[in-house]
C-alpha cells in the first residue's frame, strides 16, 4: 500500500474519542504568555508558578483590638504607654508594668508577646487592668510568616486566577502578572440553507445558530473571538474565508461541510490547506468531525448539526483552548451514575445530554433530556452532563451504572416522577 493510500485509509478510520482527544492535545502548544495589569488578571491562567519572595505578615500583628502586654508580667495594673493602629510604626517598648493599646492589624510593639482583648480589660486614668485569669504567650498575635513564608509555592502555573489569587498577587507586590494569552478564535458557519436570526427562512432554509453558540462557548473557555461569520457553500469564497481566518486566528472553528455530501466543501478544503489528522470519530453525535493543523494553528471542522457541534466543542476544542492558555486540559470529571430509565444503545459511543442529581443518600443518578437527535438543541437545555452510553446488543435498564461526564455540578434532589 502506498503512503497516499495508507493515509487515506487512516483518515477513513473511526477514531475512539479518547484517541482523538490525545491527537488534538499532541498538536497543541501554549501560546506565548503576556503581562497584564493586576486589575485585568482575573479569569486568566497564571503562566509561571508564584513563589513567595517575602513572608506575610512581615511583622507580628495583632488579631484583635486590645492591649499589647508581656504575658507573664505579674503586675495587676499596667500603665498605658500609647496607641498603635494598623499602618503605624510603633515607637514604644512594653516593659513590666506597662501595656500599649493596639488595634487589629497593627504591629506588636517591642517587648510585648501577647495581646489581651479590650473586652477583657478595664481602663481608668491611664491604667489598664486585665480581667481574665491568664494571659498566654502569643495570644491574639499573628506571627511573621503565619500566612505564608518566603520560598513557599503559592500558586501553580496553569491555575485560573480568581478573586483570592488576584488578591494574593497584589499583596505580594505584583502590579503586573504573566498569564497565558487568550487564543484568537475564528468561527465560520457554512451552508446555503442558513439565514441570519433576524431573517424569515424561505423554503428549505433554517436560521443559523452554530456560530452564535460556538462563539459564546469559545469566550467562556477564555478565547477572544476575532471572526464570526457565515459563508455559503461556494468553494472560492469558502477557501478565501478559511485563509483569512488562519491569518487572523490561532484556532479556526467551522461548522458544517465535513460529511459526504456534494457540497461538503470544508472537508475537501482542509485537505488542501492543512494537515488533516482525523475525519471520523467512533461517537454519536459528532461522527464527521475533522481536525487539522497549519503549523501551530488548529482547525476544527465541526459537524453542522447544532448538538453535534457543541458536543464536539466540549470534547475536543475546549481542552485545546485550555492548553493554549498555559493551563492543563482540564477534562470534565467523569463519575459513575445509576440511570433512572431504560436507554437503548447505539452502534457507537453515544454522549447523551443528561441531568445528574445527588440523592439524599449522596448517590448520583441520571436521566437523559428526552429525544437525543443531533439537531435538537433542546436536549442541551437544563442538562449538566453527557451520559456515556457504550455500544452493546441489549438496552440498559433502570439502575444500571454508566459513566457521566459532568459539565456542571450535579443537581440536588430528584426530579418529580410523572
Per-residue confidence (pLDDT) for residue 18, from 0 to 100: 96
Cis peptide before 80 (omega within 30 of 0): no
Fold of 40-54+149-179: Molybdopterin biosynthesis moea protein, domain 2 (3.90.105)
Helix (H) or strand (E) holding 266: helix 265-273
From the list 11, 22, 29, 3, the residue with the least C-alpha distance to 323 is 29
Residue pLDDT tens, the chain, 418 long = 445 545 655 788 999 999 999 999 999 999 999 999 999 999 999 999 999 999 999 999 999 999 999 999 999 899 999 776 655 667 889 999 999 999 999 999 999 999 999 999 999 999 999 999 899 999 999 999 999 999 999 999 999 999 999 999 999 999 999 999 999 999 999 999 999 999 999 999 999 999 999 999 999 999 999 999 999 999 999 999 999 999 999 999 999 988 766 668 999 999 999 999 999 999 999 999 999 999 999 999 999 999 999 999 999 999 999 999 999 997 789 999 999 999 999 999 999 999 999 998 889 999 999 999 998 999 999 999 999 999 999 999 999 999 999 999 999 875 554 4
User: For 334-412, which CATH superfamily applies?
Assistant: MoeA, C-terminal, domain IV (2.40.340.10)
Per-residue confidence (pLDDT) for residue 76, from 0 to 100: 82
**SS3 sequence of 150-193:** CCCEEECCCCECCHHHHHHHHHCCCCEEEECCCCEEEEEEECCC
Domain segments of the chain: what residues?
3-32+181-324, 40-54+149-179, 61-142, 334-412
Strand ranges in 75-152 using DSSP code E only, listed in sequence order:
77-84, 98-102, 114-117, 121-124, 127-130, 141-142
pLDDT tens digits for range 102-156: 999 999 999 999 999 999 999 999 999 999 989 999 999 999 999 999 999 999 9
Fold of 61-142: Molybdopterin biosynthesis moeA protein; domain 3 (2.170.190)
Q: Return the bridge partners of 252, or none.
A: 186, 299
CB 380 within 8 A of CB 374: no
Q: Return d(Cα 21, Cα 154) in angstroms, integer.
A: 31
From the list 344, 313, 319, 347, the residue with the least C-alpha distance to 331 is 319
For residue 221, what is its C-alpha cell?
473557555
CB 50 within 8 A of CB 344: no
First to last CA, the chain: 59
Handedness of CA 118, 124, 125, 128 (dihedral sign): negative
Residue 396: phi and psi, rounded to 5, are -85, 145
Helix (H) or strand (E) holding 112: none
Q: How large is the greatest C-alpha to C-alpha distance in the chain, in angstroms?
A: 102
Residue 46: phi and psi, rounded to 5, are -65, 130
**Angle (nearest 5°) at CA 389 between 380 and 220:** 35
The residue count for the chain: 418
- CA-based R_g, the chain, Å: 31
Per-residue confidence (pLDDT) for residue 262, from 0 to 100: 61
> What is the model's pTM?
0.86
CA atoms within 13 A on the CB side of 111: 16
Number of H helices, E strands in the chain: 8, 29
Going by their DSSP bridges, the two strands 224-231 and 184-190 should be labelled as: parallel
Question: In this structure, what DSSP letter does residue 240 have?
Answer: H
Per-residue confidence (pLDDT) for residue 91, from 0 to 100: 80
CB 31 within 8 A of CB 181: yes
The CA distances from residue 224 to 48, 182, 259, 310, 325, in Å, are 22, 6, 28, 18, 11
For residue 196, what is its C-alpha cell?
441570519
Fold of 3-32+181-324: Molybdenum Cofactor Biosythetic Enzyme; Chain A (3.40.980)
Q: For the chain, how are helix, strand and coil distributed in percent, rounded to 5?
A: 20, 30, 45
For cell 443537581, name the residue: 411
Residue 226: phi and psi, rounded to 5, are -105, -20
Amino acid at each position: 500500500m502506498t503512503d497516499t493510500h495508507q493515509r487515506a485509509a487512516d483518515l477513513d478510520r473511526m477514531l475512539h474519542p479518547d484517541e482523538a482527544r490525545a491527537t488534538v492535545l499532541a498538536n497543541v502548544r501554549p501560546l506565548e504568555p503576556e503581562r497584564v495589569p493586576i486589575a485585568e488578571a482575573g479569569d486568566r491562567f497564571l503562566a509561571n508558578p508564584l513563589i513567595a519572595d517575602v513572608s506575610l505578615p512581615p511583622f507580628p500583628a495583632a488579631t484583635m483590638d486590645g492591649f499589647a502586654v508581656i504575658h507573664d508580667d505579674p503586675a495587676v495594673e499596667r500603665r498605658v504607654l500609647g496607641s498603635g493602629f494598623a499602618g503605624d510604626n510603633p515607637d514604644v517598648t512594653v516593659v513590666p508594668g506597662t501595656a500599649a493599646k493596639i488595634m487589629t492589624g497593627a504591629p506588636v510593639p517591642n517587648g510585648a508577646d501577647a495581646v489581651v482583648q479590650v473586652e477583657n480589660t478595664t481602663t481608668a486614668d491611664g491604667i489598664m487592668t486585665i480581667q481574665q485569669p491568664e494571659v498566654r504567650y502569643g495570644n491574639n498575635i499573628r506571627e511573621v510568616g503565619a500566612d505564608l513564608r518566603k520560598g513557599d509555592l503559592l500558586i501553580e502555573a496553569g491555575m485560573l486566577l480568581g478573586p483570592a489569587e488576584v488578591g494574593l498577587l497584589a499583596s505580594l507586590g505584583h502590579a503586573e502578572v504573566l498569564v497565558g494569552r487568550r487564543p484568537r478564535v475564528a468561527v465560520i458557519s457554512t451552508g446555503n440553507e442558513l439565514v441570519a436570526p433576524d431573517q424569515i427562512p424561505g423554503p428549505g432554509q433554517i436560521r443559523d445558530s452554530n456560530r452564535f453558540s460556538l462563539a459564546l462557548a469559545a469566550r467562556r473557555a477564555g478565547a477572544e473571538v476575532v471572526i464570526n461569520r457565515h459563508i455559503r457553500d461556494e468553494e472560492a469564497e469558502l477557501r478565501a474565508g478559511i485563509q483569512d481566518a488562519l491569518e487572523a486566528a490561532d484556532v479556526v472553528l467551522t461548522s458544517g461541510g465535513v460529511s459526504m455530501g456534494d457540497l461538503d466543501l470544508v472537508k475537501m478544503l482542509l485537505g488542501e490547506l492543512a494537515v488533516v489528522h482525523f475525519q471520523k470519530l467512533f461517537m454519536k453525535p459528532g461522527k464527521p468531525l475533522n481536525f487539522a493543523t497549519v503549523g501551530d494553528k488548529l482547525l476544527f471542522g465541526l459537524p453542522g448539526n447544532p448538538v453535534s457541534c457543541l458536543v464536539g466543542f466540549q470534547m475536543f476544542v475546549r481542552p485545546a483552548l485550555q492548553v493554549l492558555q498555559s493551563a492543563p486540559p482540564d477534562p470534565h470529571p467523569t463519575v459513575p451514575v445509576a440511570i433512572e430509565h431504560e436507554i437503548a444503545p447505539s452502534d457507537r459511543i453515544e454522549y447523551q445530554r443528561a441531568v445528574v442529581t445527588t440523592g439524599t443518600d449522596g448517590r448520583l443518578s441520571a436521566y437523559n433530556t428526552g429525544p437525543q437527535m443531533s439537531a435538537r438543541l433542546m436536549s442541551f437545555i437544563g442538562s449538566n452532563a453527557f451520559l456515556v452510553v457504550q455500544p452493546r446488543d441489549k438496552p440498559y435498564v433502570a439502575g444500571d451504572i454508566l459513566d457521566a461526564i459532568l459539565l456542571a455540578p450535579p443537581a440536588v434532589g430528584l426530579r418529580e416522577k410523572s
